[in-house]
Chain A
């Protein structure tokens, strides 16, 4: 069950998700969940950034389109994963947390892709949980 958190000065909510679900649901849904998840976390980061006055992405729809159909020509998907990872690191920096290791992200992406999504989600969960505790 995902826990929701309302962002201050924003109508948006962010979700603490089970990283196992992020890793495994794409298999069950033939990849659809991964697209939904990528759109949603980019939307959450955008809203979180805006609530603090920082740019953490402007167009989550573009992030989604970069994965599909952009993934068909490979490069757009790589770019959005790169930028999305940078945004997760930016989100952590805003919350004064140690950023995830970009090299580890690279490794997971290439040799254990389900772990890539889970790793990013764990990092975001920490930020959202910290925000939740801070209220």
Chain B
């Protein structure tokens, strides 16, 4: 389930996506969803940056093309992933959130590739949840259960 959020002054929307589904759909669609996802998050970042007067990417189509057919010459996807990660960090910096860790992103990418998009999506979800309002007709996204505090014994 994804929750659409309005990006103010842009007419565009950003989606809060379930990071597990980002992984799952990429596997089920043999990578096609990953391309769609990469295009969309770059489009969302661009729109969000513009709404704040900052450059968070200019051409999401180029980001997509860097993956396909760019992967045929290997380097373009690496550049696009690097820049995309920087953009996610930029969006987090704009709203005063702790940025995703570039080293963790790198090692995830190299060793557990499928978790890399999930990591970025979790970072983006935090930004969208904090800064954007639900699009008309959309439910308020649930708060993630990321509070490490355990339940009290009397409540459990």
Q: Could you list which residues of chain A lie within 8 angstroms of chain B, going by C-beta atoms?
A: 49-50, 53-56, 86-87, 89-90, 92-94, 99, 101, 103-104, 106-107, 110-111
Q: Within the complex, what minimum Cβ distance (angstroms) separates B66 from chain A? A: 25
Q: In chain B, what residue has the closest Cβ to A85?
A: B148
Asked if A90 and B119 sit within 8 Å, CB to CB, the answer is no
Asked if B152 and A86 sit within 8 Å, CB to CB, the answer is no
Of all A-B residue pairs in the complex, the 10 with the closest CB atoms, nearest first, are A90-B150, A89-B148, A55-B156, A93-B148, A54-B150, A99-B148, A111-B111, A93-B149, A55-B151, A103-B104
* A-B CB contact pairs (8 Å), 12 listed: A49-B150, A50-B153, A53-B154, A55-B156, A90-B148, A90-B150, A92-B148, A93-B149, A101-B101, A103-B101, A104-B104, A110-B112
| B108 is an interface residue with CB less than 8 A from chain A | yes
| B35 is an interface residue with CB less than 8 A from chain A | no
- CA A110 to CA B154, docked complex, whole Å: 36
Interface of B is mostly: loop
Number of A-B contacts (CB under 8 A): 51
Give the chain A neighbours of B21 by CB distance below 8 A.
none
Give the chain B neighbours of A87 by CB distance below 8 A.
150
- CA A50 to CA B154, docked complex, whole Å: 10
Q: Within the complex, what minimum Cβ distance (angstroms) separates A121 from chain B? A: 17
Give the chain B neighbours of A53 by CB distance below 8 A.
152-154
| B107 is an interface residue with CB less than 8 A from chain A | yes
Asked if A90 and B111 sit within 8 Å, CB to CB, the answer is no
Asked if B108 and A107 sit within 8 Å, CB to CB, the answer is yes
- CA A56 to CA B101, docked complex, whole Å: 28
Give the chain B neighbours of A107 by CB distance below 8 A.
104, 107-108, 111-112
